[in-house]
Chain A
Amino acid sequence: MSPESEMGSEENHFRRIVIIWIVLSVVLDLLFWFLVGPHVPPGRMTTTAKDNQFDFNVLMVIGLPVIVGVWEWLGYAAIKWNVKRKDMPESVGGPSAADNQRAVVSWIVITTVVVLALAVFGTIALYAGNGSGSGEGPNPILQPAGAFKAETAALAGTGSWSPNSNEVLPVQVIAQQWKFTYRYPTFGGFESPDLILPVNTEIAFNVTSLDVIHSFWAYQLEVKADANPIENNVAFTKTEQLGNFEVRCSELCGIWHGAMFNPGKVISESAFMTWASSTESTNATNTANLPPFAWTYVPDANGAAGGYYPDGNVTPYSTVEIYGSKQPS
């Protein structure tokens, strides 16, 4: 028997490898998509979390065949093209490997297509998800319908929200060393250490800081935005499931950074309305002592240790529509 027929032709090897690769890839992709995919973090509590899970699963479905291909090739080569076998042609590095133009071109074309396709996919996902829960700065280009109206009304103190109204709910996240607090401008501007959100509602997080740089990270909501002093960083998401989540600071911000976390809750719209109205009433005395609601706050020149007040030089909310040159006093 000739060495070639004993080892099989190059064409046979390639066909065999491709068939095994396709079968393994399809099986593993299906197993991952249906068994593992639905449980991949961060879950499906919000649209951005759901989108993020979908994106991750797509990456895995594309990545698994690549992983399978590499390992299969390695295993196949170790078994079939073992140098200890008799009558083997010259191993890796021989003339056939150096001049295999088909293999080189295939590798470049396939990896280029995969990377470019993922870039397009990522860009579409970013746009479709209104920024995918990341901070877009004070002038968000990508925002859900009704966000501009709700944010502008919130600043003017004329905002409203009610169950089943489909209105965007602005929530201000105020970071300071070492705690997040939350203001609800639609409900009289009360401030609370609790982050409570209604389900099935588009939320506009307006994130700022009173001292150093922090980062608001609501992991299960798939929202993450840096909290910078005298800067309003806006991020959007829509709640879709009831449940608990956790907020953490993800920017090393000092001695108690590790303790800068708090739980949060997504509750029904009617329960949220009850909670917000009740807290607005309970906190009314303290709310009167708070500075007027503003996107950012600056220190009062007369305040020895603090005394923060609205930034007089307002940052416009939108690049296309400017609220005004000054915030309400």
Chain B
Amino acid sequence: MSKGGRLATVLGLFLVVVGLVVWAVASLLNPGVPGGVVNFTNAQAAGQPVQLNVQTVGSIGFGAHPTWVSYLVKDPKSGKWIHATSWELPAHTVVDMTIDQYDSGSPLRNQEWGQVLGTIGSTATLNGTSFSVYNSNTGNGVGHTFAIPTLNISVPLVGVSGNPCGAAPCHFNSPHNVETFSFKTPGAGSYNWQCFVPCALGYLFGNGGAMSTQNYMGGELEVVNS
């Protein structure tokens, strides 16, 4: 190979390496929104609160782990319940959340999560009645929590008696509790949310299985600038 050819080869390879490095760094700095994320950014008029409806079920009834506990979300486009726990939300916007809780409950491992924390007004409603603290040692206890730890948001989801709904999506005819609360999204970023009740029965400390697998008892809020 001539001297010019060798020089061109080296230069070409150098540019390829530089291009790969730039692409890798840019991807790290701006990862974008991953696939499989339910988009709520266009589901309402600009400046209006996002309506986010989810339900919790004791056993999902389908898929690879039909006995696992899970969250489901109502797709804002189709209105159907779907099995997805990563949601894209607009930044600095109020989210009105409604959770239909179909699962049974028990005393909390840490009663700290019996408090409603970080919501607007630091309150939530349970079947229409406002509350800020729930004693999980009484009644049906707490089945799950909806918590965004980095934002200090946590709401206890009060359990129902028994577990009559055995497969998702559960229907309103099954016993359930309806809880509502609102919170405001922060600036753009990725924020994980999770349940703080170790509800994965059959796993060490209840935190394996559905608690440690994406798309069941935790997910991501992908907050984007609209």
Contacts and interface: CB of A to CB of B under 8 A. Distances in A.
Contacts of B150: 259, 261-262
Interface stretch (A26-34, A35-43, A80-88, A298-306): A298-306
Contact of A307 (B137, B147, B152): B137
Interface in B89-134: 106-112, 114-115, 117, 132-133
Contact of A303 (B109, B133, B154, B218): B109
Nearest to B191: A259
Contacts of A192: 112
Interface residues of A, number: 35
Contact of A259 (B132, B149, B211): B149
B169 to A, nearest CB: 23
B194 A178 contact: yes
A181 B149 CA distance: 11
A174 interface: yes
Contacts of B108: 305-307
A289 B111 contact: yes
Interface string A204-225: 0000001110000000000000
A191 interface: yes
Contacts of A174: 110
Given A177-B198, A255-B212, A210 B107 contact: no
Interface in B6-40: none
Nearest to A302: B107
A305 B135 CA distance: 15
B191 to A, nearest CB: 8
Contacts of B110: 174, 176, 181, 191, 210, 306, 308
B33 to A, nearest CB: 18
Interface in B37-66: none
A265 interface: no
A312 interface: no
A303 B107 contact: yes
A290 interface: yes
Interface in A257-303: 259-262, 283, 285-286, 289-291, 299-300, 302-303
Interface residues of B, number: 37
Contacts of A324: none
B137 A256 contact: no
Contacts of B114: 286, 289
A192 B118 CA distance: 12
Nearest to B208: A254
Nearest to A254: B212
Contacts of A181: 110, 112
Given A177-B198, A290-B112, A305 B214 contact: no
A174 B133 CA distance: 20
Interface string A229-252: 000000000000000000000000
Contacts of A211: 109, 198, 205, 207
Contacts of B211: 177, 255
A299 B109 contact: yes
A174 B112 CA distance: 11
Nearest to A304: B106
B107 A307 contact: yes
Contacts of A308: 109-110
B132 to A, nearest CB: 8
B36 to A, nearest CB: 17
A306 B207 contact: no
A47 B24 CA distance: 41
A313 B172 CA distance: 47
Contacts of A299: 109
A306 B105 CA distance: 10
A3 interface: no
B206 interface: yes
Given A177-B211, A193-B117, A305 B199 contact: yes
Contacts of B71: none
Given A285-B133, A289-B136, A307 B112 contact: no
Given A178-B149, A289-B114, A306 B107 contact: yes
B111 to A, nearest CB: 5
B160 to A, nearest CB: 14
Given A211-B198, A254-B212, A305 B111 contact: no
28 contacts: A176-B196, A177-B205, A177-B211, A179-B149, A192-B112, A193-B149, A193-B152, A193-B154, A210-B109, A211-B109, A211-B205, A212-B204, A254-B207, A256-B192, A256-B194, A262-B152, A286-B115, A289-B137, A290-B111, A291-B111, A302-B107, A304-B106, A305-B106, A305-B199, A306-B206, A307-B106, A307-B107, A307-B136
Interface of B: 106-112, 114-115, 117, 132-133, 135-137, 141, 147, 149-150, 152, 154, 192, 194, 196-199, 201, 204-207, 211-214, 218
Given A255-B218, A256-B149, A256-B192, 13 more contacts: A193-B112, A193-B117, A255-B214, A256-B218, A262-B152, A286-B114, A289-B114, A290-B111, A303-B109, A304-B141, A306-B106, A306-B108, A306-B198
